[in-house]
Amino acid sequence: RLRRDYLIRPLLFASREAIEAYAREHDIAFREDLSNRDLRYRRNKIRHQLMPFLQREFNFTSLSSFLNIGLIVQEMLPEVEKAAATLLPSDFPGGTQNKIRLDISTYKGYFSGIQIKALEMVLSELLQREVKLTNRLFRDFTVWLAQEKFSPRFRLHPQVEVRRSGGELVFEKPGSTPHEGTVSVDLEVGAEYVNEALGLMLRMDWAKRPEVKMTDDRMVEYLDGGKLRFPLRLRTWKAGDRFQPLGMQGEKKISDFLTDEKDHFLPRSQMLVLENAPDIVAVVGSRIDERYKLTEHTQHILKITIESL
């Protein structure tokens, strides 16, 4: 807050020199807080390093206009919050919630400042505490939303994931949605596996070389069928699982791989692997194993297709 009772801070409308002159003119004693010189604080880096740089390099004779931006932004915040609230469900906030939906087209219709505020309000409601979104994470989320076929899920926060469902964004805490526990099923070529609780369908078919299209779409993967022994087992990953991610030289723990990935096809705890015992040939909807990729010597091609229900 800019003002509380008789205290006004910060005095953006006046320079340090003007304040000191006013104090001397009215015989007002003042002192400088010792922390004002401590460059460990960001505000002091701005005051003692950024501001002199702007004056020196950009020939600012007065910083008053520059500093007044803070006042303008402060006045705009309530309006930004009001606009962001129009993106949220009519019953928001509704106490402790595990799932919140936003209309995608409505969300895209607002500029980034309002989008960020809306996302922060959703996260704060789900986690029941104030949450701030970094610019980098917002940028990654915006890229994910634009690439509709890249991955159906995005981890917006360590405790919150976002998925697409029709024309909506669904924000939920992993594990808050009921599911059927662990998956373990054997699949032959031509099989179609449907799991409504997880919201997915997986199908395996043979493909001919001309049909193969290498894209960034993780919902379609190809494996060297000549190296596979059927049936393959589709199961929930478990601690200790390892594979060699496509493009890497050595093996990596599935747990570490999932930690490094920004977005997942399913909540982390429910991620599935495809097993060609004893090897894991793919983390479903994320990455295949380097050893099972297609090469010029591949004669039989297995196509794996994943769809969200």
Least confident piece of the model among 25-29, 102-106, 213-217: 213-217
Structure confidence at residue 224 as a pLDDT band (50, 70, 90): very high
Per-residue model confidence (pLDDT) at position 178: 44
Q: Which amino acid is at 60?
A: F
> What mean pLDDT, rounded, does the chain reach?
82
- Predicted confidence (pLDDT) per residue in 233-292, tens digit: 999 999 899 999 999 989 999 999 998 886 777 888 889 999 998 999 999 989 999 999
- Predicted confidence (pLDDT) per residue in 136-183, tens digit: 889 889 988 887 655 667 888 877 888 887 788 888 876 554 444 588
Tell me if 82-172 shares its fold with 184-308: no
Least confident piece of the model among 32-46, 123-137, 148-162, 180-194: 148-162
Share of the chain above pLDDT 70, in %: 84
Whole-angstrom distance, CA of residue 144 vs CA of residue 107: 14
Residue 8 clears pLDDT 80, i.e. is over it: no
Per-residue model confidence (pLDDT) at position 60: 67
Q: Which fold is adopted by the domain 82-172? A: 3.30.465
137 vs 224, residue with greater confidence: 224
Per-residue model confidence (pLDDT) at position 166: 75
Per-residue model confidence (pLDDT) at position 94: 52
Residue 20 clears pLDDT 70, i.e. is over it: yes
Q: Which two tokens stand for residue 39?
A: 């460059």
Q: Which fold is adopted by the domain 184-308? A: Phenylalanyl-tRNA Synthetase; Chain B, domain 3 (3.50.40)
Share of the chain above pLDDT 90, in %: 27
Q: Are 128 and 105 in contact (CB under 8 A)?
A: no
Per-residue model confidence (pLDDT) at position 205: 93
Would you list the domain boundaries of the chain?
3-76, 82-172, 184-308
Reported pTM: 0.46
